[in-house]
Amino acid sequence: MRELLCADLRRAGFDLVEPKDALPRTIRIPIDNWIELGALLLLGRTDGSVRLLDADNNVLAWKGADTPEQCAEQIITDADCFPITYPWDLLRMNEEVLRLMDETSLLGEVSKLATLNGTIRLGNGSIIHPGTVIDGPVLIGQNSQIGPNALIRGATSIGSNCFVGNGAEVKNSIIYNNSYISRQCYVGDSIIGTHVTLGAGTCTENHRHDGRHHISMIKGTPVNTGRIKLGAILGDGVRTGVNTSISAGVKIGIARTTTPGTIVSKDLL
């Protein structure tokens, strides 16, 4: 995703520099924000020291000073910008970034019996096995294996050295490097950390029965995620037993495990 963002900024005429090489006209962007390109261009055309804010007064970017507080002026934008505050914000950012993909690049091996639609990027050494269907935008890293007979759809990013097994489905999700999705799993609107192993038949629920936004507990406080669909958020090193069912919006902490047939209906932290 970093590569896509950098390419989009360069196409718009920006040069990317290290913080130590910043000049007064250099735009500084916090790493935890998604900023619409048009808003950055507006900031770039403004003279002097200026900070760019969203409607909620979150700092999106600034120029002409070492910190946003030192800027003499400010601009408030109503562009589609948002801070990355909670894990589910990464799903929204992933959707925005994958929209930037404008061409398919298949550097790995794709079976003639696989079906690919939309924009797809496949890294070196990765293999798409027979019977697999991929509906982009989808980004797959290096040395990963998908299928056979898997379904990958929606805005999905799969890291390097990953495995998505026979008959598994991954939809609108982020799977970090070195994770293993066994056969017949369903991963929907979810975030899967690194070195995670999902036992065969593990399924994530992603939709409330009442159709309302998902509510997530953060440090004992309920937070409206703003999402109609939200699956599981799994930390690094999680391992699930076969046929584990994970309720919508549930968070499972680093290196936690489940036994076969477990129903995880509350956060497991």
Same domain? 81 vs 112: no
| Beta carbons within 8 Å of 185's beta carbon, 6+ residues apart | 165, 168, 169, 198, 200, 201, 202, 203
Q: What are phi and psi of 4, to 5 degrees?
A: -65, -45
Residues 59 and 113 in one domain: no
Shared domain check, 230 and 169: yes
- Looking at the fold, whether 81 and 205 belong to one and the same domain comes out as no
Residue 244, domain member (yes or no): yes
Each of the 269 residues of the chain gets a pLDDT tens digit; together they read 566 667 767 777 777 777 777 788 888 887 777 788 888 888 888 888 999 988 888 888 899 888 899 999 999 988 878 878 899 999 998 998 898 888 999 999 999 999 999 999 999 999 999 999 999 999 999 999 999 999 999 999 999 999 999 999 999 999 999 999 999 999 999 999 999 999 999 999 998 888 889 988 888 888 999 999 999 999 999 999 999 999 999 999 999 999 999 999 999 99
Domain of 69, in residue numbers = 2-85
Residues 199 and 255 in one domain: yes
Tokens of 155: 């805005």
**Do residues 130 and 257 share a domain?**
yes
Asked whether residue 96 is domain-assigned, the answer is no
- Specify the pLDDT at position 4: 64
Q: Are residues 33 and 131 in the same domain?
A: no
pTM, two decimal places: 0.85
- Domain total for the chain? 2
142-158 b/e (C-beta count within 10 Å ≥ 16 → b): bbbbbbbbbbbbbbbbb
Do 121 and 50 fall within a single domain?
no
The answer to whether residue 13 is domain-embedded is yes
